[in-house]
Amino acid sequence: MERVTHLTIATQNAGKMDELRALLSDLPLVLRPADGMPEVEETGSTFSENAELKARAAAEWSGGWALADDSGLEVDALNGGPGVHSNRFAGGNTTEADRNAALLQLLKETPAERRTARYRAAIAIAAPDGRVWISEGAFEGRIVDEARGTNGFGYDPHFFVPEHGCTVGEMDPALKNRISHRARALIRAREILERICR
């Protein structure tokens, strides 16, 4: 297998890009955001399907190897919602604050003990010849009303992790990068990444 030195990341989310750079910093890969790539319509019904759609599109667009993730929040009291719609369930052109407010509105009658939730991530790695590898990871917690902390992004200030006694928004980024859903999915994806870049 030809050694790969560059990997296109199918995201324009700066927070996600920072996390991936930290998680993959020990590999001899230059990570490039897919700036200018046309937006991929996320028509999949699962995180894995959406990650694969984006990775294939980024590999075709860049002409090289690409990585994409699709991730979101699953709340048990909402039957697994917002799920694959986590970034747009509150409508188009909404902010993170808008989505958090919409989530809390949906949960306003739900007692704390029933607010169990998880972040879920699927990572797809696509080769320019069409091969794709997919891995998944999950991270358990529960939703709290009060926004706590300024680290991370998305639902992190409301995602409380009982075993650490804090929200992900309060969590040291280095700890998050060891235990998050994305980190767990990447652990399984590292084998192929190590093979292509060494």
* Residues annotated catalytic, as ranges: 70
Rounded CA-CA distance 198/183 in Å is 21
Taking every pair of Cα atoms in the chain, the longest distance, rounded to a whole number of angstroms, is 56
Contact between 47 and 66 under an 8 Å Cβ cutoff? The reply is no
Rounded CA-CA distance 47/119 in Å is 11
In sequence order, what are the residues at sequence separation of 6 or more whose Cβ sits closer than 8 angstroms to the Cβ of residue 109? none
Question: Two tokens at 83?
Answer: 């799920």
Rounded CA-CA distance 10/69 in Å is 8
Rounded CA-CA distance 196/135 in Å is 16
In sequence order, what are the residues at sequence separation of 6 or more whose Cβ sits closer than 8 angstroms to the Cβ of residue 3? 196, 197, 198
The alpha helices in the chain, defined as continuous H runs, are: 14-23, 47-62, 96-106, 173-179, 181-197
